Chains A and B, each alone.
Chain A
Amino acid sequence: MNRSALALFLLIPLLCCSIEAQDAKWKRTDSDDPYLHRIHLRDATGLTIDPLDADASSPDLARSCAPCHDVEAASGGLHGKQGPDGRPGEPWFLVDPRSATRLPVHHRSWPGHQHPDSLEMDATSWSRSFGRHDPALGSASDCLVCHLAEGYSFSKRIEKIDAGDVTLAPFYAAGILDPAGNYDPRKFDSNGQVEWQLLSDAGNEACFRCHTVRDLDSDGGRGWLHEQDVHLTAGLTCVDCHRSGIDHNMVRGYEDEVHPSGRDVSALSCRGCHLDPDGGGMGAPIPQHRGLPPFHLDEIHCTTCHSGPSPTETPIQQWTSRAHRLGEPSQLRLPDTPPRIIATALLRDAAGVIGPVRTSWPDGWGILDAAGEIAFLSPAELRRPLRRALRVRADLVAEVSEELSGESASGLLNRALQQLQSALADGQIAVLISGGLAHRSSGDGKLESFSATAANPVHWAISHPVRTARTAVGAQGCTDCHSEASRWIDSTIGPTTLLPIDSAVVSRSPLDPGIVDRNLWQRWTLLFTGRDLGKIYFTICSSLAIFGGLLSLWKSIDRESS
């Protein structure tokens, strides 16, 4: 017994030492008070840089942060394309005007998303295409884009990454390097150190750089439809819910999320925070949903009524930072700037729960194999054949679509398909995907359209902005949904084709098969026309029946006792 106690006595300090040693590797203040960073910049070899030295080497962000932070861990996590795939999120869109390609791309294996490898995208081409809105800079990360609270020019970052200056882009954006690529001495103190207000939560604006969503009204205008998320209005910040540690396994916040750390993050979803007993963080109110039959909460995601733009009779088009290069000053961003993203479509998820999604249809060229699978071709593979067949120089849509229409356009596109076909093996067929359909050469100079999985749209859930309770669907009563005049049933959407060919433009409604049972919904809608009268009727009947019943009971007891 004494030996065990002695062993334990010796073991505890040892354990403590080893844990302390792990923690001691990285500096932490462990205070809520932000730490003002006054640091030396370092080059790729880890040596400190003297900004006044005319031969000073280029700065390296990972090396500069590494003395105090685990930059390797920070570059990964869910925010760094690692960890489980989870629920489909927003794709990147590979937009190539020369081949009229608009493909949803992602490293994760989500339905309908093309993997960068399948499009021959390596890290360099990824950075050139998407680095502008991706915190990853090759193998490292741009810590500043998310954590530098002040003095970061996001548009400068985009400009430099587009110019191919990927690794130095953060330093240009932070003003450390002037436009000529020299160190700006005003950014350094007399010790050659730079002073940065780097915060774990650098404010919502840091998140908005890559996660802004802008609604476009029917005139293509914007601004009038903008709604601030109710949580932000209440004073919360994005990372209050979307939490992470240095591993950057950012909580995504959807129900049933499995966090890579193994932590229970259910209290950080809408339902977990607002309805579950473990929730209630940050003063989250418990919604009453008075009069709402409780099974609605089982069959419908909170976001269906509370998130995204209010349903309208026309589809709501959206721009997103990543898809439409928001943050970059531009006069060329127009309502028809691809990709076309439509919001407020309703879909059932894998668990059968209805929720709102954003939708976008792919456009591109591919190869149909004998198994019926379509593999998309990368813009690089298309460049030569399309130039040869169509004489396309810069913009296929502009050069073909606007000049030709109808059969002449079909004939031209058919020629492009035949050109692609000439390089294919037996059993392979060149196809054009556009407008929700696949098209192949019919052999007589025309295009033959057919349905294909590859032509189906990609969907990703709408979670923000969360609207106030008063502006939620259903706030005006049951007939917000259960009425022929309900706006959500008329949200007719369909794919549009970039080129003047047939598309699968069909009305899509939540009452389509697999989403909401149309017959059942119509029966209930009929019933809801007299719902208020029904309530009055049942209240009167109930009151009279209970009162009469009590009277009868009293009489019966009185009679039996006498």
Chain B
Amino acid sequence: MRLQVSRLSLVLVVVAAITAIPGLPLDVDLRGNWLLLHLLIVSPLAALLVVMSWFVRGRGEVLSTLAWLCLSIAMGVILVPMLGLTAAESSHNWINGHGWLSFLGFVLLGWSAARRRNAG
């Protein structure tokens, strides 16, 4: 069960990352249909992140845990403009922060997987 949740989360993270590509380069925020799709993907992912943090990653390695934590913080960062806690003009910074943290989490996940594969 844990493996299935982990795999599903990974798939959703990858798809969410793909749907965020039209938001590049920086300061060209994700918008329109792609943003809609991104939100659709991350809605179940948000719940899965909670599951991963509390029930799956508890016994994992540091790198992998750090990766999921980065993704969780990225979700928290995007809530700042979403909840109207900052001015619209500053939202770019928070959206960029969300992007960079997600990217970092994504890289760490890959690094963690690579390390595990090398370790056999």
B83 within 8 A of A: yes
B62 within 8 A of A: yes
The 7 listed contacts between A and B (C-beta, < 8 Å) are: A544-B50, A544-B54, A546-B69, A548-B54, A549-B69, A552-B68, A560-B62
A292–B88 CA distance with the chains assembled, in angstroms: 6
A293–B32 CA distance with the chains assembled, in angstroms: 11
Interface residues of A in 325-382 (CB under 8 A from B): none
Q: Which of A286, A539, A545, A559 contacts B72 (CB 8 A)?
A: A545
> Do the beta carbons of A542 and B83 come within 8 Å of each other?
no
> Do the beta carbons of A553 and B62 come within 8 Å of each other?
yes
Contacts A293-B31, A535-B82 known; 4 new A-B pairs at CB < 8 A:
A294-B89, A551-B53, A553-B66, A556-B59
- Give the distance to chain A from B76, nearest Cβ to Cβ, in Å: 4
Interface residues of A in 285-319 (CB under 8 A from B): 286-297
A26–B61 CA distance with the chains assembled, in angstroms: 83
A547–B58 CA distance with the chains assembled, in angstroms: 12
> Do the beta carbons of B92 and A294 come within 8 Å of each other?
yes
A446–B73 CA distance with the chains assembled, in angstroms: 72
Interface residues of A in 505-562 (CB under 8 A from B): 517, 520, 523-524, 527, 534-535, 537-539, 541-553, 555-557, 559-560
* Residues from chain A with Cβ under 8 Å of B83 in the complex: 291, 535, 539
> Do the beta carbons of B72 and A549 come within 8 Å of each other?
yes
Q: Which residue of A lies closest to B85 (CB)?
A: A290
- Give the distance to chain B from A443, nearest Cβ to Cβ, in Å: 50
Interface size class of A (residues with CB under 8 A): 35 or more
Which are the 5 A-B pairs with shortest beta-carbon distances? A291-B84, A548-B53, A289-B88, A549-B69, A545-B72
A517–B36 CA distance with the chains assembled, in angstroms: 14
* Residues from chain A with Cβ under 8 Å of B32 in the complex: 517, 520
- Give the distance to chain B from A271, nearest Cβ to Cβ, in Å: 11
> Do the beta carbons of B33 and A523 come within 8 Å of each other?
yes
> Do the beta carbons of A552 and B79 come within 8 Å of each other?
no
Q: Which of B58, B75, B91, B95 contacts A542 (CB 8 A)?
A: B75
* Residues from chain B with Cβ under 8 Å of A552 in the complex: 53-54, 57-58, 60, 65, 68-69
Interface residues of B in 43-57 (CB under 8 A from A): 43, 46-47, 49-50, 52-54, 57
> Do the beta carbons of B60 and A556 come within 8 Å of each other?
yes
A258 within 8 A of B: no
> Do the beta carbons of B82 and A542 come within 8 Å of each other?
no
> Do the beta carbons of A542 and B72 come within 8 Å of each other?
yes
B119 within 8 A of A: no
Q: Which of B29, B36, B68, B72 contacts A293 (CB 8 A)?
A: B29
* Residues from chain B with Cβ under 8 Å of A292 in the complex: 88, 91
B8 within 8 A of A: no
B81 within 8 A of A: yes
* Residues from chain A with Cβ under 8 Å of B87 in the complex: 286-290
- Give the distance to chain A from B84, nearest Cβ to Cβ, in Å: 3
Q: Which residue of B lies closest to A559 (CB)?
A: B59
> Do the beta carbons of A288 and B46 come within 8 Å of each other?
no
Given contacts A293-B31, A297-B89, A548-B54, contact A541 B46 (CB under 8 A): yes
Q: Which residue of B lies closest to A288 (CB)?
A: B87
> Do the beta carbons of B33 and A545 come within 8 Å of each other?
no
A523–B33 CA distance with the chains assembled, in angstroms: 9
- Give the distance to chain A from B99, nearest Cβ to Cβ, in Å: 14
Q: Which of A527, A537, A548 contacts B36 (CB 8 A)?
A: A527
Task: List the interface of chain A (C-beta within 8 A of B).
Answer: 275, 286-297, 517, 520, 523-524, 527, 534-535, 537-539, 541-553, 555-557, 559-560
Q: Which residue of A lies closest to B86 (CB)?
A: A290
> Do the beta carbons of A295 and B36 come within 8 Å of each other?
no
Interface residues of B in 18-46 (CB under 8 A from A): 29, 31-33, 36, 39, 43, 46
Number of A-B contacts (CB under 8 A): 131
> Do the beta carbons of B72 and A546 come within 8 Å of each other?
yes
A527–B66 CA distance with the chains assembled, in angstroms: 32
> Do the beta carbons of A288 and B88 come within 8 Å of each other?
yes
> Do the beta carbons of B79 and A291 come within 8 Å of each other?
no
A288–B73 CA distance with the chains assembled, in angstroms: 24
* Residues from chain A with Cβ under 8 Å of B81 in the complex: 291, 293-294
- Give the distance to chain B from A380, nearest Cβ to Cβ, in Å: 53
* Residues from chain A with Cβ under 8 Å of B71 in the complex: 545
> Do the beta carbons of A541 and B62 come within 8 Å of each other?
no
Q: Which of B46, B47, B57, B91 contacts A294 (CB 8 A)?
A: B91
* Residues from chain A with Cβ under 8 Å of B59 in the complex: 555-556, 559
Q: Which residue of B lies closest to A477 (CB)?
A: B84
A313–B48 CA distance with the chains assembled, in angstroms: 44
Given contacts A286-B87, A294-B29, A545-B46, contact A553 B36 (CB under 8 A): no
* Residues from chain A with Cβ under 8 Å of B72 in the complex: 542, 545-546, 548-549
* Residues from chain B with Cβ under 8 Å of A537 in the complex: 43, 46
A297–B91 CA distance with the chains assembled, in angstroms: 11
Given contacts A539-B79, A542-B76, A546-B69, contact A290 B84 (CB under 8 A): yes
A556–B57 CA distance with the chains assembled, in angstroms: 9
A513–B27 CA distance with the chains assembled, in angstroms: 27
> Do the beta carbons of B36 and A556 come within 8 Å of each other?
no
A490–B82 CA distance with the chains assembled, in angstroms: 28
Given contacts A288-B87, A297-B89, contact A555 B79 (CB under 8 A): no
> Do the beta carbons of A546 and B60 come within 8 Å of each other?
no
A558–B4 CA distance with the chains assembled, in angstroms: 26
A559–B91 CA distance with the chains assembled, in angstroms: 39
> Do the beta carbons of B82 and A553 come within 8 Å of each other?
no
- Give the distance to chain B from A523, nearest Cβ to Cβ, in Å: 6
Q: Which of B43, B46, B62, B89 contacts A557 (CB 8 A)?
A: B62
A329–B102 CA distance with the chains assembled, in angstroms: 67
A555–B57 CA distance with the chains assembled, in angstroms: 10
A538–B73 CA distance with the chains assembled, in angstroms: 12
A555–B86 CA distance with the chains assembled, in angstroms: 34
A378–B34 CA distance with the chains assembled, in angstroms: 53
* Residues from chain A with Cβ under 8 Å of B58 in the complex: 551-552, 555
- Give the distance to chain A from B59, nearest Cβ to Cβ, in Å: 8
A549–B60 CA distance with the chains assembled, in angstroms: 11
Q: Most chain-A Cβ atoms within 10 A of its Cβ — which of B47, B53, B76?
A: B53
